[in-house]
Homo-oligomer: A and B are copies of this chain.
Amino acid sequence: MSNNIVPLTELISQFERLPGIGKKTAQRLAYSILEQPPERAEKFAEALINARKKIHFCKKCQSLTDLEICSICDDPKRDSSVICVVAEPRDVLAFERTREYTGTYHVLHGVISPLDGVGPDQLRLKELMARLSDGQVTEIIMATNPTVEGEATASYISRLVKPMGIKVTRLAYGIPVGADLEYADEFTLARALEGRNEI
């Protein structure tokens, strides 16, 4: 059952196109906009336009930024000899949250996935190779997701980079901190056993 108010239907369908937002939630969100002062909708609209217009990819690491070179690449305190290679811009934020990583990043904007028609040429690989050409980089940390595509991408890049004499590492597999062993899947547990460390 739809309302038959065209502008409302359109707003609901815009919310519905967002990832993880279903029909019911989209309706709830659209109504919430209508219940608030018009300035609220205007601010929201402005933020959407602004973000999309002002944010682009960092010339160096291909992460998101509103500057030419992002604040991480531009920070002299970051160790530019280490590059953490991730699939998506949001992965950068995940690593930054750890407050442990002091190297730089490179965002591929995807992973190799033949089924979806994504080959190495669709990724920001050329830009990564360009960064490696001056011999300053000593380590590449492959931080793509632990999925088939993420693994394939990691090993593809590893084969490209290793001959250049650059160390290539991969994130450790294992049990998540705070997790219950009972609920760990067998593949994760097997990897955790494999990678066990002396204490």
List residues of chain A with CB under 8 Å of any chain B CB: 1, 3-8, 10-11, 13-14, 17-21, 25, 27-35, 38, 40-55, 64-66, 71, 88-90, 92-93, 96-97, 99
Measured between beta carbons, the chain B residues less than 8 angstroms from A99 are 1
Measured between beta carbons, the chain B residues less than 8 angstroms from A92 are 3
Measured between beta carbons, the chain B residues less than 8 angstroms from A1 are 93, 96-97, 99
Are B51 and A7 in contact, CB atoms less than 8 angstroms apart? yes
In angstroms, Cα B48 to Cα A42, docked, is 7
**A82–chain B nearest beta-carbon distance, Å:** 19
Given known A1-B97, A4-B71, A19-B29, contact A51–B89 (CB-CB < 8 A) = no
- Work out how many copies of this chain go into the complex: 2
Q: Determine the main DSSP class of A at the interface with B.
A: helix
Given known A6-B66, A34-B64, contact A90–B51 (CB-CB < 8 A) = no
**A198–chain B nearest beta-carbon distance, Å:** 32
Given known A44-B48, A48-B33, A55-B34, contact A20–B10 (CB-CB < 8 A) = no
Chain B residue at smallest Cβ distance from A89: B31
Are A52 and B64 in contact, CB atoms less than 8 angstroms apart? no
Are B10 and A47 in contact, CB atoms less than 8 angstroms apart? yes
Measured between beta carbons, the chain B residues less than 8 angstroms from A31 are 88-90
Given known A31-B89, A41-B52, A52-B34, contact A5–B64 (CB-CB < 8 A) = yes
Measured between beta carbons, the chain B residues less than 8 angstroms from A64 are 3, 5, 8, 34
* B17, B20, B44, B96: the one within 8 Å of A25 (CB): B20
